[in-house]
């Protein structure tokens, strides 16, 4: 999907109820306060490895350490950051591999924003970096995210037991992968 395809629907309401004014773009240094607000939301934090009370200065520092093997996108609605997704390409003998991380604003979960963000990242992975393997790790109890990843061509590789400590207890995570340029939801493998 091109930049124009990503945002051509800005004057419409999508069939799944996603706000029509959603715009997906590269993260910018001045986004640090909005990204920090997003990361500190309870639902966003619960589904990621984020610790509570992240500061804007910590966000700025992390944002400034990215390089040419890193793509970070934000989704905005009326100038508010409502989602974020990143793709990191590995180097050397793993230069064919990328890792995805993403999260959506608590109020926007379940309305297609995650699909749009992930589709944008997979376009970079497939059409610009020619990645063969895309990996991610998701909390085992995050069924909504696991369903999204399956629809986008990811498969379970394994369970990582006691992977993280969250809310006073250890939780498992699921390792997922998309190999090759697997067809994504709505695409045919016969083209």
Of 54-63, 81-90, 104-113, 181-190, give the range with the top mean pLDDT. 81-90
| Alpha helix segments (H runs only) across the chain | 3-7, 32-39, 42-46, 56-64, 113-127, 143-151
Of 19-23, 169-173, 178-182, give the range with the top mean pLDDT. 169-173
pLDDT of residue 65: 74
Instruction: Report whether pLDDT(90) > 50.
Output: yes
| Cβ-Cβ contacts under 8 Å for 187 (sequence gap 6 or more) | none
Domains and CATH numbers, the chain: 3-136 (3.40.630.30)
Residue 185's pLDDT band, with cuts at 50, 70 and 90, is low
Looking at per-residue confidence, does 52 or 76 come out higher?
Answer: 76
* Residue 169, helix vs strand vs coil: strand
Taking the model in full, what pTM does it have?
0.83
Residue 14's pLDDT band, with cuts at 50, 70 and 90, is low
Which letter does DSSP use for residue 182 in this model? P
Instruction: Report whether pLDDT(43) > 60.
Output: yes
The percent of residues in the chain predicted with pLDDT above 70, rounded, is: 84
| Integer-rounded Cα radius of gyration of the chain | 16
Q: Residue 169 is encoded by which pair of tokens?
A: 């207890």
Looking at per-residue confidence, does 172 or 53 come out higher?
Answer: 172
Pairing of strands 97-104, 133-139: parallel
pLDDT of residue 31: 95
Instruction: Report whether pLDDT(3) > 60.
Output: no
């Amino acid at each position: 999907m091109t930049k124009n395809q990503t945002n051509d629907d800005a004057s419409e309401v999508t069939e799944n109820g996603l706000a029509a004014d959603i715009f997906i773009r590269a993260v910018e240094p001045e986004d640090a306060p909005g990204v920090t607000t997003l990361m500190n939301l309870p639902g966003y934090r619960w589904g990621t490895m984020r610790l509570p009370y992240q500061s804007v200065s910590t966000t700025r520092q992390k944002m400034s350490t990215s390089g040419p093997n890193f793509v970070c996108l934000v989704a905005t609605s009326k100038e508010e950051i409502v989602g974020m997704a990143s793709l990191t390409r590995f180097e050397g003998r793993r230069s064919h591999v990328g890792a995805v991380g993403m999260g959506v604003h608590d109020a926007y979960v379940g309305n297609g924003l995650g699909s749009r963000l992930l589709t944008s990242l997979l376009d970079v992975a497939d059409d610009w970096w020619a990645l063969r393997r895309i990996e991610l790790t998701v909390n085992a109890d995050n069924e909504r995210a696991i369903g999204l990843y399956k629809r986008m061509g990811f498969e379970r590789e394994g369970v990582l037991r006691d992977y993280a400590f969250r809310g006073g207890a250890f939780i498992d995570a699921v390792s997922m992968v998309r190999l090759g340029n697997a067809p994504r939801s709505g695409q045919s493998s016969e083209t």
